[in-house]
Structure 1
Amino acid sequence: MASDQIPGYTYGTDDIPDAPISMDEFDRLKQTVLFDEEDEEALRRAGDVLEEQIDDVLELWYGFVGDHDFLLYYFTDGEGNPDEEYLERVRERFGQWILDTCDAPYDEEWLNYQFEIGRRHTREKKNQVDDADAVDHIDMRYLVAFIYPITATIRDFLTAGDHTDEEVDEMYHAWFKSIVLQVTLWSYPYVPEENW
């Protein structure tokens, strides 16, 4: 599905407010996780490898969530009844997020959308774009803890390409840096601004 046909996917549109941090502040965050142009190059290579495997990646990740009722809870009405339509709509955006992680320039539009993703995990905006009847907030602890499975599981998929072990390592570490960077940005609406 083309990205402009994915329900609720609004990256690069006028609907997205400007990020609450400057590009200089963003650059300092990138430096903190040692993210540079070589990582962006490695992620583009990773995108080439992952593009044909996105359904398999999502199957694995959704299986992980589904195997843990305390994670699946955030896609339910709060009483254990999953909202299947909501799960499917999020899945489409999750697949596009993989591509954006790998292929999008880490510029102002990308930065703006990261803060939107963060808001969509909180009471401020969760469920709105999908008109879902689900729990209205994802606890921050799971957002942070999910860094590991989202990172550790990607490595096997990266080995499916025609790359050396060293290149796979480069792609893997670039992915890891990006995930830490993104979750850091997503954490913004969870804490008082003066603490972030």
Structure 2
Amino acid sequence: MTTAAIPGYTYGTETVAKSPISMEDFELIKKTVLFTEEDEKYLHLAGEVLQDRVEDVLDVWYSFVGSHPHLIRYFSTPDGKLIEEYLMAVRKRFGQWILDTCQRPYDRDWLNYQQEIGLRHTQEKKGQTDHVQSVPHIGLRYMIAFIYPITATIKPFLAKKGNSSEEVEKMYQAWFKSIVLQVTLWSYPYAKQGYF
């Protein structure tokens, strides 16, 4: 599937929110999470390993979300009815997000799309991309807490192409750093002005 066929995937377009974070501040956040050029290299390797397993990864993540009513409600109407088409549209973008995490350069377009992703979890844009009436936002607590399952569950997939244990660990650490980095950026729309 090409990215043009992914509903609501607007990476690099004029419709994407502009991140208020400067590239200089972005570099400082990367330094804080210890994200280096070596991590970029191992994320690219992770992308090669994961590209044929994206649907398998999503099956694990969606099973996790689906087994927790307090999480699946974010794909539901305010009165609790699951919106299947919303769930599936987000799944397609989520799959592309895995590849973007590993394969895209972490440049201004990438930084802007992190702002867009963050906004799509808040009252400002929740449900708008897919034109659905869902619950109005996802609490920041779940954004932060989701770091662990999205990280812990990726490691077995990174080991499936016969890479050495050292390479798997380096891919895993690079993924972990990237997830912390992204959730940090997604939290910007949640922060009071001047608090980020």
TM more than 0.5: yes
- Confirm or deny that 1:22 pairs with 2:22: yes
1:110 counterpart residue number: 110
- Please list, as runs of the form range in 1=range in 2, the aligned pairs for 1:1-196 lying within 5 A after superposition: 1-196=1-196
Structure 1 residue ranges without an equivalent (≥5) = none
C-alpha distance in 1, partners of 2:172/2:8? 28
**Overall identity of the aligned pairs, in %:** 59
Deviations 1:76-103 (A, max 9, x none): 1122211000000000000000000000
User: Could you tell me how far 1:33 is from its partner in structure 2?
Assistant: 0.3
C-alpha distance in 1, partners of 2:84/2:21? 35
Could you tell me which amino acid in structure 1 is paired with residue 114 of structure 2? Q
Instruction: Count the aligned residue pairs.
Output: 196
C-alpha distance in 2, partners of 1:40/1:115? 20
C-alpha distance in 2, partners of 1:79/1:60? 26
The SS at the match of 1:70 is helix
Structure 2 residue ranges without an equivalent (≥5) = none
C-alpha distance in 2, partners of 1:104/1:16? 16
Q: What's the C-alpha RMSD, in Å, of the aligned pairs?
A: 0.7
Could you tell me which amino acid in structure 2 is paired with residue 103 of structure 1? Q
The TM-score normalised by the length of structure 2 is 0.98
